[in-house]
Amino acid sequence: MSNKAIYLGVIGVGGVGGHFLSQLSKLPNAPSLVLLARSSQTLTSPAPSYPAIPPADWQSAFSSSTGPFTKSEAWSPEKIASYLSQVPGRAILVDNTSDPTIANAYPLFTSKGISIVTPNKKAFSSSLKLWKDIFSTAASSNALVYHESTVGAGLPVLSTLRDLVNTGDKVTRIEGVFSGTLSFLFNQFAPPSPPASGEKKQWSEVVAQAKELGYTEPDPRDDLNGMDVARKLTILARIAGLEVESPDTLPIESLIPEELSNLEAGSKGAEEFMRRLPEFDGKMEELKKAAEAEGKVVRYVGSIDAPGKSVKVGLQKFDKDSAIAGLKGSDNIISFYTERYGDLPLTVQGGGAGGPVTAMGVMADLIKVLERLS
């Protein structure tokens, strides 16, 4: 058991990061927050005393012209790693961003004995080499890596799968709805029973509604291209023992019409996409009616066939009384079929998106790391 103090660096103070800092301020015996980084600035606590940055009042610490903390321009991952490696105790980095540059630097942090807690999918769903480098350097440096919130926000998806694998169960299939955005879209567009109002919504109307409610990314194409789901499936497949090279190698069914696939990136392209999307409502209506003719509904799912070593992302039809068809709102559902659980899978279901629940998943991981380091 170590009696050394534990020091915390946090990158990202946006949606998830802001909720995380609020939750950290209420954590009993929280570790000392000594580094706080946002896109344009880095706030650090000076050696040798390392006074703690107050997580409940971090905005004031950033804006104050006096006080014990040092304000700098944004630091590189190398500089952050150097700073955290010099604290007089164990260091943990909480990365609340989706920044690939920081994700690519994870092996640098872990090689210096800095543990990592993060919802950043980029590190664990990019190249297989990066995945292996992160965990091999962590093992050789006694660093810990927790990333529960990379799949399913605060839902216990990865921990459940790791428990199954680590206890010797054999995973045969994983299937589910992994995107809160796409869950909402299809639950609205193709509900199992007609809405009480009798009003049927066109696909483009549902996408516009989801965008207005903040369920989609600012550019809905980032949800509709299926890559977010593919990244989550890549992470699960790797934990289950499949060596997926990268999400780009998977068969992904995009919901972006081929005629709109070459629009420019950025806000102008997104505006044109939304303006032209109604032109393709007929195609989505056909898919919905084809499923209804079979007594089914269409849903956007990801699936892993472990024995067959295959991963798929796209549209599938489901019976109207199935658990996937019965999802509400933006809920996720992930089912694990294993030798022990047989034909009745172990299922995890609930809210799989949003700042508060994602931050809760990050905080739960932080608590686990603190328990293991203490």
- Average pLDDT score over residue span 3-11: 91
- Position 3 scores a pLDDT of 59
Residue 1 reports pLDDT greater than 70: no
- Average pLDDT score over residue span 155-165: 97
Is residue 232 among the annotated active site residues?
A: yes
Rounded alpha-carbon distances, angstroms, from residue 304 to 19, 170, 345, 362: 32, 13, 14, 25
Tell me the H-state helices in 246-338: 266-276, 281-293
- With pLDDT > 90 as the criterion, what percentage of the chain qualifies? 88
- 183 with 135, same domain? no
- 144 with 191, same domain? no
- 130 with 205, same domain? no
Decide: 146 and 138 in contact? Cβ < 8 Å.
no
- The set of residues, in sequence order, having a beta carbon less than 8 Å from that of 315 and lying 6+ positions away, is 253, 255, 287, 298, 299, 300, 301
* Alpha carbons 307 and 40: distance in angstroms, whole number: 47
| Strands 41-44 and 145-146, sheet pairing | unpaired
- Highest-pLDDT range among 131-140, 190-199, 335-344: 131-140
- 266 with 129, same domain? no
- 143 with 20, same domain? yes
- Position 215 scores a pLDDT of 85
- Position 338 scores a pLDDT of 97
Residue 200 reports pLDDT greater than 90: no
Residue 2 reports pLDDT greater than 60: no
Q: Calculate the CA dihedral of residues 295, 298, 302, 307 and round it to 10 degrees.
A: 30
- 181 with 324, same domain? yes
- 185 with 145, same domain? no
Q: Domain count of the chain?
A: 2
* Alpha carbons 238 and 124: distance in angstroms, whole number: 9
Residue 241 reports pLDDT greater than 70: yes
List 232, 283, 289, 309, catalytic entry: 232
Pair of tokens at residue 79: 């500089």
- 211 with 119, same domain? no
- 68 with 38, same domain? yes
Q: Name the residue range of residue 178's domain.
A: 162-352
Q: Long-range contacts for 327-331 (Cβ within 8 Å, ≥24 apart)? A: 327/177, 327/183, 327/187, 328/187, 329/183, 329/184, 329/187, 330/180, 330/181, 330/183, 330/184, 330/187, 330/215, 330/354, 331/177, 331/180, 331/183
- Average pLDDT score over residue span 38-47: 94
- Mean per-residue pLDDT over the chain, rounded: 94
**Predicted structure pTM score:** 0.94
- Position 309 scores a pLDDT of 94
35: CATH: 3.40.50.720
pLDDT digits (tens, 9 = 90+) for 52-96: 999 999 999 998 877 799 999 999 999 999 999 999 999 999 999
- 216 with 363, same domain? no
Confidence of residue 374 (pLDDT cuts 50, 70, 90): confident
- 215 with 265, same domain? yes
pLDDT digits (tens, 9 = 90+) for 161-191: 999 999 999 999 999 999 999 999 999 999 9
pLDDT digits (tens, 9 = 90+) for 279-335: 999 999 999 999 999 999 999 999 999 999 999 999 999 999 999 999 999 999 999
Per DSSP, the residues of 219-231 read STHHHHTSHHHHH
CB atoms within 10 A of CB 36: 25
- 361 with 347, same domain? no
Determine the residue type at 315.
L
314: CATH: 3.30.360.10
